[in-house]
Amino acid sequence: MLWFRGRHIPIAIFIVILVLSLTLPYSDILVAQEAVLKIGMPDEIDSFNPFTSLFAAAGYVWGTLYDTLIYISANGTYIPWLAESYSIDERNLIITFKLRPNAYWHDGTPITAEDVEFTFNLVLASNYSDKLDKWGLRKYIEYVKAVDAKTVEFKLKEPYAPALFYIGAIIYPLPKHIWSKVDPLTFKNLENPVGSGPFKFAKYTSGVSIELVVNDKYYRGRPKIDKIVVVLYKSTDALMLDLMAGNIDAMTAVTVAPELVPTLLRDPNIRVVELTHSASLRWIGFNLDKYPFSIREFREAIAYTVDKQAIVNTVLLGYGYPAADGWIQPLFGGWYNPSVTYRKQNLTKAKEILDKLGFVDRDGDGIRETPNGTKLSFSILTISGRAEFERSAELIAGWLSKVGIEAKIEAQSLGTVDEREGRGNFDIGFMGMGMSRTTEIDYYIYERFHSLQAPPIGEYAGRNWFRYRNPEMDQLLEQQRRTLDPEKRREIVWKIQEIVARDLPALTLYMKTSLVAYRTDKYVGWIESEGPTSKLSVLSLSLKGPQVVTVVTQIIQTVPITQIREVTQVVGGTTMIMTQTQIVTGTVTTAPPGGIPTETVVAIVVLIVVLVAVAFLAMRRR
């Protein structure tokens, strides 16, 4: 007989009892009937200190905890937010914000001009400025001054168009009574951060969630949901499964993979939305300090080999669109120059240009040579582990080979790619970046194309790593910064696009649209045009009450600027503006109970029984 036989029956029984007893108290763990909105977010929050946080997703939590002076809606409108109103003087040098009279910090202290002055002085004129001024604002802002309790004034050194964006929408005013007592660089702000936004900090569980509870005294009216749980994920697959299972209601800072869309659409309670205000640009940059990429016509020939639409169709399964050659994309509304489109694939034209340049195949191996005999053989540098990048690069290499240019794909780690591109040790670099309408246009062009950002090869270049140097461009970039008249500034930005499209320092490929999904079975009031998890959308959400049988949902699509404004003003009031209404009748959905369902207990018991049975069978004597 086996050596432990007979002894393990009581052990097995003990385990079963133990497991059962552990699950017993669970029957009464029910999430109270409060409106808890669960939003899935990828990755961990990097810091609760708004000055040191770099991660975009963390910004989502900031947006609910803290308010900025101005809120930028999805169509680029500047909505006075924590500020009741703002004005700019006729010389474009003084910006004045008038704060809301009824705004309070989460600890009950009124929000005053002094708090705003204090926050900006930390950035502009304190011992910490050289570490906190991440945007180089000190070059442009002379001072900030609290004029009275609710009025704050910024004086610029010279007209600077992006100033309103950075002052109004990027820097969160912080409570002076807390931040004046700490070192703003190393303050973790983890124990009960005091903010000004619609939700207050409740709890942070590392790697699991951030819990935010409603701010009852919010100056724009109490939001209708009671609690937000930002659920942190390390894998998008798990996030999507949780969304499908109804464990989370929406997602932020992550997009749905195109392959998943059909699966999601099968669920009547899930809506998939293409965000209108943000998408990702992919492009290839040429090493302009390297022959033959220094020849404009050569770059143009490469542009003619690329079929942008084909990449969108095959790699993105259609969830994107070909990018305009002038860097600024239609997404930016008025900033986009509609006369700048893109070069369609034309292999004959590409061959003609190459022939004209004297790049012909002399030894008959199918690869062209330059007049001095070197082969047109290059590498496309891309980041490993990004299938989308590699697939697109392979398509481009295929087209290049059709016109007699050999291209090999080098996929390396982000660190290596960044270092090689920065120091100019590459031929063609494949890159991507997110673009959002809510970000100031200057952010995308100034450092990207300014010659000051293009040091000689060997020195590290941050954004202008293709090393584009054009005095005319430099001048236009400076000029658009100084022009506050939107019409005149738009003309300059349009001109910049024409030059980029002509010179092609980098070839834009496509825009990958941002697909997001959310559930409609628990909440109503999602504003899709703003993005389901945007501040405006979350503020308009309310629970589908069990007592309500017929509910009217507002789905606002492509709302003109004026209506967005109206929506934001009545949040918390009684009426909602809607352009399209939809009647949802019937099914009352009750919140699923939290804790362990009975099935789990059954499953655990079955599992243990099976294991014990297998063990017994296995140990039976032959």
Partner 1 sequence: MLRYFLLSRAIRMLAVFFIIIILNFILPRAMPGNPASILANEYNLPPETVKILVSLWKLDRPLHEQFVAYIESLFTGQWGYSYKYYPRTVYELVMERLPWTLLLQGVTSITVPAFGMLMGILAGWRRGTKYDVAVTISAIIVYAIPYYWLALMFQYVFGYQLRIFPIAHALTPGASYSNFLEYVADVLWHLTLPVLVVTLTAYASYTLVTRNSMVDILEEDFMFVARAKGLPERTLMKHALRNALLPPLTMLAIRLGHIVGGAVITETVFSYPGVGYLIYESIMFKDYPVLNAAFFMLSITVIVANFAADLLYAVVDPRIRYVRRG
Nearer to partner 1, 56 or 561 (CB): 56
The Cα 493–Cα 479 span in angstroms is 10
What burial letters (b/e) apply to 328-360, b meaning 16+ CB within 10 Å?
bbebbeebbbeebebbebeeebbbebbeebebe
Nearer to partner 1, 222 or 420 (CB): 420
The Cα 396–Cα 302 span in angstroms is 9
User: Nearest distance from residue 328's CB to partner 1, in Å?
Assistant: 16
Nearer to partner 1, 3 or 574 (CB): 3
The Cα 465–Cα 515 span in angstroms is 30
**DSSP β-bridge partners for residue 203:** 211
Q: What angle do CA 370, 371, 375 make, to 5 degrees?
A: 25
**DSSP β-bridge partners for residue 339:** none
Nearer to partner 1, 548 or 610 (CB): 610
User: Nearest distance from residue 136's CB to partner 1, in Å?
Assistant: 4
Nearer to partner 1, 26 or 78 (CB): 26
Contact 123, 61 (CB under 8 A): no
User: Nearest distance from residue 252's CB to partner 1, in Å?
Assistant: 14
C-alpha dist (Å) from residue 186 to 48, 62, 374: 11, 18, 55
DSSP letters, 383-436, are: ETT-HHHHHHHHHHHHHHHHTT-EEEEEEE-HHHHHHHHHTT--SEEEEEEEEE
User: Nearest distance from residue 270's CB to partner 1, in Å?
Assistant: 13
Strand, helix or coil for residue 377: strand
User: Nearest distance from residue 402's CB to partner 1, in Å?
Assistant: 31
Residues 6+ apart with CB under 8 A from 143: 124, 125, 154, 155
The Cα 279–Cα 512 span in angstroms is 6
User: Nearest distance from residue 597's CB to partner 1, in Å?
Assistant: 6
User: Nearest distance from residue 539's CB to partner 1, in Å?
Assistant: 20
Nearer to partner 1, 248 or 499 (CB): 248
Euclidean distance between the first and the last CA atom of the chain, given in angstroms as a whole number:
10
Q: Give φ, ψ of 478 to 5 degrees.
A: -65, -45
User: Nearest distance from residue 592's CB to partner 1, in Å?
Assistant: 9
Nearer to partner 1, 123 or 340 (CB): 123
Nearest-CA neighbor of 611 among 46, 1, 12, 2?
12
Nearer to partner 1, 112 or 533 (CB): 533
Task: Give CB contacts under 8 A, 24+ apart, made by 176-185.
Answer: 176/114, 176/115, 176/118, 176/119, 177/109, 179/118, 179/119, 179/122, 180/118, 183/128, 184/49, 184/51, 184/122, 184/128, 184/132, 185/51, 185/52, 185/128, 185/131, 185/132
Nearer to partner 1, 4 or 348 (CB): 4
AA letter at 599: E
Nearer to partner 1, 87 or 206 (CB): 206
The Cα 509–Cα 512 span in angstroms is 10
User: Nearest distance from residue 233's CB to partner 1, in Å?
Assistant: 5
Nearer to partner 1, 291 or 460 (CB): 460
User: Nearest distance from residue 502's CB to partner 1, in Å?
Assistant: 25
User: Nearest distance from residue 82's CB to partner 1, in Å?
Assistant: 24
Nearer to partner 1, 130 or 363 (CB): 130
Count of beta carbons in the 10 Å neighbourhood of residue 60: 20
User: Nearest distance from residue 24's CB to partner 1, in Å?
Assistant: 9
Q: Give φ, ψ of 57 to 5 degrees.
A: -65, -35
